[in-house]
Amino acid sequence: MKQAYFITGTDTNVGKTWATLALMSHFKQQGLCVVGMKPVASGCEKIEGSWKNSDALAIQKNGSKFIDYSLINPYAYELPISPHLAGKDNPANLETIFTNFQALQNLADVVIIEGAGGWYAPLNVHESIADLAQKLNIPIILVVAIKLGCINHALLTFEAIEKSKLNCAGWLAVCNDADFDCVDLTIDSLITRLTAPLLGIFPFEKNWNVTAPKIDNFRKI
């Protein structure tokens, strides 16, 4: 049976790519054919004549099979700013993204899709990440960076996901603040307040390894 998950976060730079790669590894270990997708990416560099994003390249590299970059990341923007600003001359089109997603589904057992920014991050003049998620209509996995203020951010994002009528399959805790000394209590507070299950915890690492992200106590989904 085909599976697909959409990775969103409480903000930008919270660990969505780590979560995407960890999930890809998780399903590959089950013997499934897995590919990833990052439909929209800001902050790209010119490689062999075309704009490419380091996160999207990591997703491409970690797939079970080689997938053409343009299928994984159809909208690659140079400037590291909100997609609706970075892509003003080539705005993201949800129909194009959905077509690419369907093509990827035909190539693999599992497709993991990484969003951009937070849930309401604008993709173009009129649409946001939330609109993209609703177009894809697949289960959501919420990534929460464990830091001061994250409880509020997580609850607001989870509430927004519920309002969209989409299923939140669970959430992942990413410990990316070395100076935050209330990690366990914060995670416990989120467990009691979020009805979706905690799927796993990324422990803090000074030097993250993009090819092998570590995750503790990952729950099977």
Decide: residue 33, CB within 10 A, 0-12 exposed, 13-18 middle, 19+ buried.
middle
Give the pLDDT of residue 212: 47
Sign of CA dihedral 60, 66, 71, 77: positive
Catalytic-role residue among 2, 16, 28, 38: 38
How far apart are the C-alpha atoms of 141 and 179, rounded to whole Å?
Answer: 26
Average pLDDT of the segment spanning 184-194: 97
- For residue 168, the model assigns a pLDDT of 97
Give the chain's mean pLDDT.
Answer: 93
Residue among 100, 36, 43 at smallest CA distance from 77: 43
pLDDT recorded at residue 1 = 77
> Encoding tokens for residue 114?
């990484």
65 is catalytic: no
Enumerate the β-bridge partners of residue 168: 140
pLDDT in tens, 12-58: 989 999 899 999 998 999 999 999 999 999 999 999 999 999 999 99
CA–CA distance, 150 with 143 (Å, rounded to integer): 11
| pTM of the predicted model as reported, rounded to 2 decimal places | 0.93
pLDDT digits (tens, 9 = 90+) for 97-126: 999 999 999 999 999 999 999 999 999 999
Q: Is CATH 3.40.50.300 correct for 3-202?
A: yes
Taking the C-alpha atoms of residue 193 and residue 110, their distance in angstroms, rounded to an integer, is: 29
Distance separating alpha carbons of residues 168 and 194, to the nearest angstrom: 10
CB 39 within 8 A of CB 127: no
Residue 83 has pLDDT above 50, yes or no: yes
One-letter amino acid at 79 equals L
Q: Does residue 214 surpass a pLDDT of 60?
A: no
